[in-house]
A and B are shown apart, each in its own frame.
Chain A
Amino acid sequence: MNSALAQPAPIPWEALLPLIAVATTGVVAMLIEMIWPRRSNDVIVWVCIVGLAAAAGCVVYHWNLPALESFGPRFDNAQGSVGGGLFLHDRFGQIIQLTLIATAFLTVIFSEGYLREKRLAFGEFYPLVMWAAMGGMIMATSRDLLIVFLGLETLSIALYVLAGLSQKDKRSQESALKYFLLGAFASGFMLYGISLIYGATGTTNVAGIPALFSLELPDPTAVNVAYAGMGLILVGFAFKVALVPFHMWTPDVYQGAPTVVTGFMAAASKVAAFAALIRFLDASMAMKDVWIPILTVLAVITMTVGNLIALAQKDAKRILGYSSIAQAGYILVAIVAWAKAKGMPNLTIGYETVAFYLIAYTVMTLGAFAVLSSAASKGKEGTLLEDLYGMWRRAPFPAAMMIVFMASLAGVPPTGGFFGKLFIFFDAVNANLVWLALILAVNSVISVAYYLKIVQATLRDPEVHPTKFAPVNVGLFATCFLCAIGLFAIVLFIDPLKSWLGG
């Protein structure tokens, strides 16, 4: 029974190499900053680019290796072996890892100019981004709840610090504190949930949950504990992906944090947390009679509240903050549809809709924040809608790109955002959730109004003082361009995604 413990498992380099590459890059970047402090950050940027490229190379190099779950001892619980290790190597993990690497890459290249303009050119920024990305990658490649939690904390703590990067800006400080305090609460709930799951199943690996429920006569107490643990873990995730009513930190933090950090935060933490969430839910299928209704309700109120409050906002960053809440609601619809479809005959929905939407969301959100970041100049930054007036004339390229990103967020064809929503709609209808699909459609209509506000603002002529826009540098240009191209090209990936992740 205990022989599995004595066998040291082979180290799955295919799962770990990308993590090691990103972590090492962060350390090297920090060392450079330590050795030559307060110099131009070009060297660090290049180191990060090379490191991330290496990490992406590692993922791609091992692309075709068969899926594997290992590393670290396999524990057997009282009921028998449940398998599962600390890390795993599969297509979904690889895709999310690549997404996060790309997010970090784009953030690094478009941040340089912004940080310089905002007098925030600290070298610490880059290692923190690297480690946050690493945390996210860990979350995506593990089914062990403790490892997921470690990844989550690595990501979150780096983000807390990043949010407070602008030491002179009180709002930035406030946002960091709020984020940290509320995040600590959520982490506490989640950790408690994990320990309850451990108590119920005897392992921290989610594989223990189906093992518990597949028993002929599961211990009723253990089942109770598992349900309670699942509920608390969901709260932790709901906080991380900003579902209503755990969303309140989002607009404040998005507004207060430096724009580049907001962009990275919006993209990376949501991608990683959703990836981990769907893995957890996949393992908790036995409890879906409880969590499907909960998530359905959350999806509806998240979409609706996010969209309605966004209408009343006057700050572009806050609008995007609420928009990201609403977007999380859409993704939740996809998850609910996926879960509903699991029990239905003749219907298989894999992770592909969620993965597709996450990628599209990352690309359009990062792009939008990249454009917004160009409104910073000489230590000042304007993110009110009025501050964007006249952008069309002063910075035509970012303004044009902004229209593309807003169109995609609003779900205007033929952008990636449109297809993402369409796939979600399809899944929902296929899973007999026509009413949920219609709520999604109605919400998309509402959202058009506030995305248009941003578009209109960039096209209007300034009334009083025109905002200074930073000159478009190579990094910003490249980010906008890559994101915009990506939004149109991403559609071509749905079929490969399906074949990688399908059913």
Chain B
Amino acid sequence: MINVDQYNQAVDKYSDGLYRFALKMTGDSDDAKDLVQDAFEKLWKNRKNVNHEKIKSYLFTVVYHKFIDNYRKDNRMSSLDDMHTEPSYTNAYSDVMEILQRAVDKLPPVQKSVILLRDWEGYSYKEIEQITGLNESQVKVYIFRARKFLRQYIGDPKVLI
């Protein structure tokens, strides 16, 4: 059960992180805002059934599933595991964080989600399992593969400025 104060505190506390996550997933600020708004609307509608300690993961769960649903509708022909491109090795003389951000955009949606939840939000494998509905070993595999891709994408870190 969540009261108005707890709900409003959740807006202050989590809307930025949620928006950041949604923005990275969708790549579009309007779509990201819609996802955040939908998540909070759903939270408010279900406030009687949501534990206030689980608000954050509830919000991320809603945004994740909503994004995946939208992605499936918009990309009926491609799988959620499809890589957008082959790793690039020609990233010399660029900032490593900038390259990493580009690399993350090229990850398949599920890998992207789990690694963002892991690195940006600091979720454990168990928590990511609950948010995404994947099992723990799947979460681990997706994260490891994502890191492998990122590592290949950045090439030799010594040549990065």
Whether A associates with B in a native complex is no
Interface residues of A (CB under 8 A from B): none
The interface of chain B, by Cβ under 8 A from chain A, is: none
